[in-house]
Amino acid sequence: MINKSAVFFLPIVLSLCILHICYPGFMSYDSIQMLEEARSSVRGGIFPTAPVYVLRFFDITGHGPTLMIQVQNFILLFSVTLVLRILKVGLITSTISLFALVAMPTVIGCMLVLWKDVTLTALIMLSLTIIFWASQAIKNDIFYKIAKWLALLSLMVGTLVKFNAITSTVIISIYWLSVFYKNKNFQYRFAAFFIIVISMIASNKIINGYSFPNFQKLETNNILYGVMANDLIGISGWSRVSLIPFDLINSAHTPKVPISDIDKIYSSLGSAVMYENNVKLGNIVTIFPEKYRTEDIINAWLTGVFTHPMAYISYRFDLFSEIIGAKTYGTYEPTHFNRIDENKFGIKFQERHITDFTLKYIEWASNVFFGKPWFIFLISFIAVLFIIKNPSIPTQVKMFSFYSFAAAFLYIIPFLLVTLSGEVRYSFTAIVLSSNSIFAWIFGKNPSLSLK
């Protein structure tokens, strides 16, 4: 079995290797905006403010993304290593397993960049791992009591990191209750679950809705209206009936953009690419009519969906297939190949051979079937089925596998309906969580494993 020192040693070494590849840390447009707000004041809008406060804490040294990337990568890798230790996996096998996980193109691609996806996944993995450990720990142990609240705290903070995280953290809260309050009756656990969910929603409204310490209301998050507007482009493209610009309520029909122009900007990668295509062509597609209101967007979206339901479904599947890497052509990988975008902080990237090698590997591996998210999801689903049917696998392992897969599924499936883009990096969290089921399938049958 992997020893205690290796539980820390392996994640430290591997996270430092990842940091060396991307040092001081890749930064995209939203990463730079996050750093800008961390060093000035939060604004809100389509980006949650919780990660800004986290970065503000880690940027105390003035090194931008470096410390936060290192810490969140370590927490993530530490959690996976601890899972392998609980499953009594040997040191060499654990090392190979850890490298196999990180070698997945979408996994290493995200861990090189200062993205909220990694922060969220690290917190969820830490919570899942702690709950798994507690499921076979001594109940009156002091570490058990600390673990109980640390696991819940990780879930609560994780819920704040991304607006869509709650679909995953809610199901893990049920796992938390089933372990720490398994001797309580149904009414007690239901009441506790209700309190947890309300707390998650309320804390999100407060932390991501107001600036601190002055407690001023932040910009409203209007991302759903952007999703609806982009849906109308997709519906137009798939139905061959132009809905752009959309009509205003109680007004004459607006002259529509030709379908041929919509075809020129359309991309299954979503809003960012369509916007870029539109700008390059001189903004040939005008989406928003003059003096529109949010009610106009909602009305136009509802009309488009109900008038052309199959076109809407086809468009949503088109984006989702990009996210899970199910296209016949090469997968668009999430790694920020620009390394670090232009910024006012003077943060620049110095090219290294290992960086170029890693990015070329990611590009190659993303085009191989075992490097695609859908393949990992399929294997994890099969793993859960086999684990449930195998009587030799302890109940605690079965529960851990099931809740990990459920959290992964409930995280990724909402992207089928609500997302602006078809970026494969959105599958990062689901891939990591799904790997728990695969590890449980492979190592859960270990005869030396005797969880009580």
Q: Is the dihedral of CA 319, 325, 329, 330 positive or negative?
A: positive
Residue 49 DSSP class: S
Tokens of 427: 């599958």
Burial 398-433 (b: 16+ CB within 10 A, else e): bbbbbbbbbbbbbbbeebeeebbbbbbbbbbbbbbb
Tokens of 85: 């230790």
Beta strands, E only, 319-393: none
Tell me the C-alpha distance between 38 and 52, whole Å: 5
Tokens of 145: 């009591």
Residue 47 DSSP class: S
Residues in the chain where the model's pLDDT stays below 70: 1, 446-452
331 vs 29, 31, 228, 405, CA distance in Å?
21, 23, 25, 23
Tell me the C-alpha distance between 307 and 301, whole Å: 10
Spatial CB neighbours of 333, under 8 Å, sequence gap ≥ 6 = 105, 106, 109, 362, 363, 366, 424, 425
Q: Residue 12's pLDDT is what?
A: 97
Tell me the C-alpha distance between 269 and 421, whole Å: 5
Q: Residue 334's pLDDT is what?
A: 74
Which residues are registered as beta bridge partners of 193? none
Tell me the C-alpha distance between 397 and 449, whole Å: 10
Query: Long-range contacts: 368-374, Cβ < 8 Å, 24+?
Result: 371/104, 371/105, 371/106, 371/325, 371/331, 372/324, 372/325, 372/326, 372/331, 373/106, 373/323, 373/324, 373/325, 373/424, 373/427, 373/430, 373/431, 374/324, 374/325, 374/326
- pTM, 2 dp: 0.93
Q: Peptide bond preceding 213: is omega within 30 degrees of 0, i.e. cis?
A: yes
3-state secondary structure of 158: helix
Q: Residue 451's pLDDT is what?
A: 45
Spatial CB neighbours of 207, under 8 Å, sequence gap ≥ 6 = 49, 50, 53, 160
Q: Peptide bond preceding 245: is omega within 30 degrees of 0, i.e. cis?
A: yes
Using the structure block, give the residue that is written with the tokens 């809407």: 312
Instruction: Give yes or no for a contact between 219 and 44, defined as CB atoms under 8 angstroms apart.
Output: yes
Tell me the C-alpha distance between 360 and 115, whole Å: 21
Phi, psi (deg, nearest 5) at residue 209: -110, -15
Q: Residue 452's pLDDT is what?
A: 42
Residue 258 DSSP class: P
Q: Peptide bond preceding 24: is omega within 30 degrees of 0, i.e. cis?
A: yes
Tell me the C-alpha distance between 119 and 114, whole Å: 9
Tokens of 227: 């999703």
Tokens of 109: 């691609």
- Which H or E element spans position 307? helix 294-307
Calculate the dihedral angle through the C-alpha atoms of 222, 415, 166, 86, rounding to the nearest 10 degrees: -150
Instruction: Give yes or no for a contact between 204 and 166, defined as CB atoms under 8 angstroms apart.
Output: yes
Q: Residue 131's pLDDT is what?
A: 96
Which residues are registered as beta bridge partners of 44? 219
Tokens of 229: 């507007």
